[in-house]
Amino acid sequence: MEHRRFTALLTLLVAMMAIQKEAEAQQLPRLVVCITVNELRGDYLDELSPLMGNDGLKRILNTASLKSNVSFPLYQPNEGSATATIFTGAYPAQSGWGDIVAYDRNARRYLNIMTDDACQGIYTRDNYSPKNLFVETLGDRLKQASGGSSLVYSVAPSAQAAIASSGLSADGAYWIDDAIASWATSNYYGSMLPQLEQYNRSSDGPNKRIVAGITHRPLRSLKKQDIAYNDYSRAFVHRYNQTSVQAYKSSGLINEEITSFAVRLLEQAGYAERRTPGLLALSYTAKTSGLRELEAEDVDTYLRLDESIARLLKALEDRIGLKNCLITLSGTGYTSYLATDDKNRTSRLKRELSETRITALINMYLTALYGSGEWIAENSNGRIYLQKKTIEERKLSLDKVQREVANFLKGASGISYAIAASDIPQSTDLLAKSIERSVHPKYAADVYWSVLPSWTLTDVKAGSHLQYHTALCPSPFAILGADEDIKRNHYEVRDVRDIVRVICSILRIRPPTA
């Protein structure tokens, strides 16, 4: 009899433990922390891993429930377009968040798509909002699923990343202002949290520090490598002030500021008190300093990134508990360097093109074919916008003129490709497909072109894609947490659009593009 009672009790205990385990496996995370690192390179992570500690990047990558390399098949990707694709699950052709400065045919000039005259900047003169983000984000879906009670915030060096990762209904989006290096936001999201505003105005805030001057030296001394492209151990000193805010935002120091602000946000936003899952989207940088591979500044950027992530994980453990968090880490699928750095090449050949001369030659060519007139409305950023009024007046086919221009460019020295917009939909070319998925119809050009990497444009406009040489590269992606759920569902993440789908599956909500 005693044996039977013992057996029954043991069976009951085992059943209760199984039920408890299943309940724990299905428990929603209290906080989703999405870490996006602009221009993160997996090969650099592997090479520099021995120099990193065990509590930052390696902690995520070594204990991740899911790891993979993700493709970002975008045309001329940038921080904004890559970040928006991660959080919306939609390419820029649908989301509208591609080139942040886009050509407006009616105004005949380039306009910032974030500008919204109905809004007012806070600690910035820029009036920004997500009005031209045409699809929902992960944060928007969390808001809808919880009836608005989920907290959604983003923190990033740039406004384009902060707005893209927070979405349309976020509680806040914060970025570093390009002019004065203060933390900035928009009244679209309401006012800045009082405690964050107090930090922003204090001597510890980035604005006061950059006014005083910020000195950037290597985080620590490193041993000189036996074989390397550049000397890791090289000492450097950079000083940032009000005239070099962009340089500061591209340096490894900005990663430390992102974490400092994020930790304050964790403490003051109220995540720990909410009973619905919240989202904290953080953007960091791993942007390299130039054409040369892994210079001392680049190594310093990765080491500071590692320490910043370690500090973030410690704050999450203390405030929320890592077991209550779902943490993702992703790059942006590309790397870039300034085309002007090509002057440092060892080649003795001087290969230069003039954007102005290209425009003049196209006008001359079209004039010879169809008569004099204003044929080109704008030629910059590797995109040609034809003067449609002239084409209509001559009763010409727009498609035909587009092809004439593209074919003319293909015959020019230094041009790597040229394609007419009318040829893109039916083309099987990989480049054409990347343009099709990366450009929203509202911002479509008539002809797309670029120069060969060994050539330099002498008069390229500031901010143009042609200022940079960009290469796509597989992006690391990892999820820390939700182990049982991932093992049970066998998620695959190959394309950037899969990232938000996996996160939404774990959260048991519909993805933004459902």
Cβ-based neighbour number of residue 118 at 10 Å: 9
Lowest mean pLDDT among 222-231, 374-383, 425-434, 465-474: 465-474
pLDDT of residue 345: 52
Query: Taken in order 387, 80, 125, 249, is the CA torsion positive or negative?
Result: negative
| Residue carrying structure tokens 């921080």 | 79
Give the CA distances from residue 141 to residues 135, 148, 360, in Å, rounded to whole numbers and listed in that order: 11, 10, 49
Helical pair 159-166 and 79-88, crossing angle rounded to 10 deg: 10
For 418-433, write each residue's pLDDT tens digit. 999 999 999 999 999 9
Q: Given pLDDT bands bounded at 50, 70 and 90, which one contains residue 1?
A: low
Q: Is the pLDDT of residue 18 over 50?
A: no
Q: Which residues neighbour 430 within 8 Å (Cβ) at sequence distance 6 or greater?
A: 73
Q: Is the pLDDT of residue 344 over 80?
A: no
What domains are defined for the chain? 30-333+473-507 (3.40.720.10), 352-468 (3.30.1360.150)
Encoded tokens for 368: 């010879």
Q: What is the C-alpha separation between 137 and 170, in angstroms, rounded?
A: 10
Q: For residue 454, which amino acid is it?
A: S
pLDDT of residue 21: 44
pLDDT of residue 332: 97
Q: Concatenated DSSP letters for 121-172?
A: EESSS--B-STT--S--HHHHHHHHTTT-S-EEEEESSHHHHHHHH-SS-SE
**pLDDT: which is higher, 172 or 460:** 172
> Over pLDDT 90: what percentage of the chain?
76
Backbone angles phi, psi at 61, to 5 degrees: -70, -35
> Over pLDDT 70: what percentage of the chain?
90
- Across the chain, mean pLDDT equals 90
Can you list the positions of beta strands (E) in 319-360? 325-330, 334-338, 352-353
Q: Which residues neighbour 4 within 8 Å (Cβ) at sequence distance 6 or greater?
A: none
For 380-420, write each residue's pLDDT tens digit. 889 999 999 999 999 999 999 999 999 999 999 999 999 99
Q: Is the pLDDT of residue 437 over 90?
A: yes
What is residue 443's DSSP assignment? G
Lowest mean pLDDT among 14-23, 94-103, 440-449: 14-23
**Shortest CA distance to 67 belongs to which of 474, 473, 472, 480?**
480
What does the pLDDT average to over 461-484?
77
Q: For residue 231, which amino acid is it?
A: D
247, 240 contact by CB (below 8 A): yes
Q: Given pLDDT bands bounded at 50, 70 and 90, which one contains residue 290?
A: confident
What is residue 178's DSSP assignment? T
What does the pLDDT average to over 470-481?
89
Lowest mean pLDDT among 243-247, 288-292, 305-309: 288-292
For 166-223, write each residue's pLDDT tens digit. 999 999 999 999 999 999 999 999 999 999 999 999 999 999 999 999 999 999 999 8
Q: Given pLDDT bands bounded at 50, 70 and 90, which one contains residue 22?
A: very low
Q: What is the C-alpha separation between 167 and 508, in angstroms, rounded?
A: 19
Q: Which of 59-73, 94-108, 299-313, 472-486 has the highest mean pLDDT?
A: 299-313
Residue 198: its H or E element? helix 194-201
**Shortest CA distance to 98 belongs to which of 132, 144, 122?**
132
What does the pLDDT average to over 325-344?
80
Q: Is the pLDDT of residue 9 over 80?
A: no
SS3 (DSSP) at 320: coil
Q: How far apart are the first and last CA of the chain?
A: 58
Lowest mean pLDDT among 108-117, 260-269, 306-315, 478-487: 478-487
| Residue carrying structure tokens 């004099």 | 372
Q: Given pLDDT bands bounded at 50, 70 and 90, which one contains residue 468?
A: low
pLDDT of residue 26: 57
SS3 (DSSP) at 215: strand
Encoded tokens for 430: 């990989």
pLDDT of residue 7: 55
Q: Is the pLDDT of residue 19 over 50?
A: no
Q: Is the pLDDT of residue 283 over 80?
A: yes
Q: Given pLDDT bands bounded at 50, 70 and 90, which one contains residue 14?
A: very low
